[in-house]
Amino acid sequence: MKKKSVSSIRQMKKRGERITALTAYDHPTARLLDEAGIDLILVGDSLGMVIQGRDSTLAVTMDEIIYHTRLVARAVHQALVVADMPYGSYHLSPEQAVANAIRVVKKTGCDAVKVEGGSDRVSVIRALLAAEVPVMGHIGLTPQSVKRLGGYKIQGRQLQDIERLITDAETLQEAGCFSLVLEGIPHPVGRIISRKLEIPAIGIGAGPHCDGQILVFHDMMGLNEAGTFRFVRQYAQLAELIRRSLTDYQQDIRTGRFPSLEESFPLEESIEAQLEEIYGSYLEDEQT
């Protein structure tokens, strides 16, 4: 399969093809996603929560995003790889955003970056594009705004907020974003924005009418037991599977069922015969 670009992702919307997206933070997971044909892999700052066990994404650093994006990009042959710009890496000035984004592109080989926020990010997005870095926007429930929002709350419930979200989406498209994440908004709002935009709107908790969907890998696979949102559908219960496997592993060791001789290295027969002569008593089965 040919490597996807920001323009091939945009073309998908024009052709009416829905875009599949997921987060990944490591090489083996990214390889599985890529092989399965997932269109877009986001190295999200959600890693602060699902990998580092924090209660928000705020402490994630540029170095951590670079480290995880490198692992992911190395595994990917066809998906578009997007690195999330962490909190504080683009909030000071467009110059700061460009310096950090160029660093992430050079060090990881990612295809684009994602920044959270609405019309207030236009100067940052324009500066990134002028520096040749494609940008994905992210509006609605933006986790980096958790302190200002007063929690992880669904956005766009009142008309005034809905109109602001629609304006933000149009402004980000005009600023040059190749796509937008719409997170945590009522489905009619997701529908209006997706219809109004020419660029793809990728939903997470934004209803079924978006141009594509993204989920956090650990949520959809049942690995995040810290509590998930109504919009998460679990496609597997990996935490349960891991727990059962760990019980079996310990039982097998304690009862001597693991490892078996088939899982061990034999000796050449002639050497084993010599060993028998010298160390025979040590090689006998224990009496029970």
Active site residues: 183
Binding of ligand KIV at residue 173 (CB under 6 A)?
no
Q: Which amino acid is at 134?
A: P
Binding part of the chain for ligand KIV, among 37-45, 101-109, 164-172, 239-247 by CB under 6 A, reads 37-45
Residue among 151 and 280 whose Cβ is closer to ligand KIV: 151
| Member of 4, 44, 81, 171 binding ligand KIV (CB under 6 A) | 44
Binding of ligand KIV at residue 200 (CB under 6 A)?
no
| Member of 20, 29, 46, 171 binding ligand KIV (CB under 6 A) | 46
Q: CA–CA distance from 62 to each of 90, 122, 193, 284 (Å)? A: 10, 21, 31, 58
Question: Which residues have C-beta within 8 Å of that of residue 83, sequence separation ≥ 6?
Answer: 43, 65, 66, 69, 104, 105, 108, 110, 112, 113, 114
What is the C-alpha to C-alpha distance for residues 65 and 100, in angstroms, rounded to an integer? 11
Binding of ligand KIV at residue 169 (CB under 6 A)?
no
Binding part of the chain for ligand KIV, among 24-32, 40-48, 61-69, 146-154 by CB under 6 A, reads 40-48
| Member of 39, 45, 64, 211 binding ligand KIV (CB under 6 A) | 45
What is the C-alpha to C-alpha distance for residues 75 and 73, in angstroms, rounded to an integer? 5
| Member of 20, 23, 100, 173 binding ligand KIV (CB under 6 A) | 23
3-state secondary structure of 37: coil
| Member of 185, 197, 204, 210 binding ligand KIV (CB under 6 A) | 204
Count of residues touching ligand KIV (by CB under 6 A): 12
Residue among 13 and 218 whose Cβ is closer to ligand KIV: 218
Q: Tokens standing for 82?
A: 């997007």
Residue among 149 and 279 whose Cβ is closer to ligand KIV: 149
Binding part of the chain for ligand KIV, among 44-52, 86-94, 163-171, 231-239 by CB under 6 A, reads 44-52
What is the C-alpha to C-alpha distance for residues 278 and 264, in angstroms, rounded to an integer? 22
Tell which residue, 140, 147, 139, has the closest CA to residue 121: 139
Binding of ligand KIV at residue 20 (CB under 6 A)?
no
Q: How many other CB atoms are there within 10 angstroms of residue 223's CB atom? A: 18
- Which single residue brings its beta carbon nearest to ligand KIV? 44
Contact 60, 43 (CB under 8 A): no
E-only strand ranges, the chain: 19-23, 40-43, 80-84, 112-114, 135-140, 179-183, 201-204, 212-215
| Member of 181, 189, 192, 220 binding ligand KIV (CB under 6 A) | 181
Phi, psi (deg, nearest 5) at residue 225: -100, 10
Residue among 47 and 158 whose Cβ is closer to ligand KIV: 47
Binding of ligand KIV at residue 84 (CB under 6 A)?
yes
Interacting residues with ligand KIV (CB under 6 A)? 23, 42, 44-46, 84, 138, 181, 183, 204, 214, 216
